[in-house]
Amino acid sequence: MNGLLIVDKPAGCTSHDVVRRVRKALGQRSVGHAGTLDPLATGVLVVAVGEGTKLVSHLQSDDKRYEVTIALGAETDSLDADGEVTDTAKVPPLDSAMVERALLPFIGRNLQEAPKLSAIKLGGTPLHRRVRRGEDVEAPVREVELYEAAAVAPSLWQGLLRAVVGTRRRTGAWDARPCEGSAPDGERGVLDRR
């Protein structure tokens, strides 16, 4: 079999888990995917089979669109919902306009440090594996570009992002994390660029 499969990846499995299942189901070794989704992420995972694997590099270079949900008021060690909470902050009342204004500085090209618990490989080994072995790793910094960001529901912030490939949504959430003095009366909680 040759071609592309569009898989609706559920939460809880890695992109490689999906590839492994496709290999087993089709009895075919030549299977790959066009972009890693975190285990917590759900959505479209493009799986290439046989001659379709030759298209992966072209597919990976296209821009992506993401729907994200960010819980404001808590920071975790992994920058995602699975991590241990390392900091909390009171979140003042927000509206969509406030959130979108706070996101404006992120539109365009920016440098972004990858989360240390990610699938990005350093010397052939995923960062998350190195961190879990106790290694002190330096996460790579990459240039990313965000084309648009729109708030859907500001209380448990939901938004739509359109970005170039390689943009880390959870790192973007951390970059836009609450900072001291960004809200009225010195409360923490309003998104602000650091």
- pLDDT for 170-190, tens place per residue? 445 545 544 333 333 333 333
Share of the chain above pLDDT 90, in %: 20
**What is the rounded CA–CA span in Å between residue 85 and residue 78?**
9
Alpha helices in 78-157 (DSSP H): 96-103, 127-132
| pLDDT score at 29 | 95
pLDDT given at position 91: 80
| pLDDT, averaged across the chain | 76
Query: Which of these is catalytic: 38, 80, 175, 192?
Result: 38
- pLDDT for res 194: 30
* The most confident of 38-52, 64-78, 94-108, by mean pLDDT: 38-52
Burial 46-74 (b: 16+ CB within 10 A, else e): bbbbeebbeebeeeeeeebebebebebbb
Segment 90-119, tens digit of pLDDT: 888 877 788 788 888 888 888 888 877 777
**Residue 59 scores a pLDDT above 90:** no
For 141-171, how does the pLDDT look when each residue is reduced to its tens digit (9 = 90+)? 888 888 887 777 665 565 555 555 455 544 4
Res. 3: pLDDT tops 60: yes
Q: What percent of the chain has pLDDT over 70?
A: 78
pTM of structure: 0.66
Q: Is 38 in the active site?
A: yes
pLDDT over threshold 90, residue 47: yes
Interior angle at CA 109, CA 151 and CA 48, nearest 5: 80
Q: For residues 108 and 121, what is the distance between their CA atoms, to the nearest angstrom?
A: 25
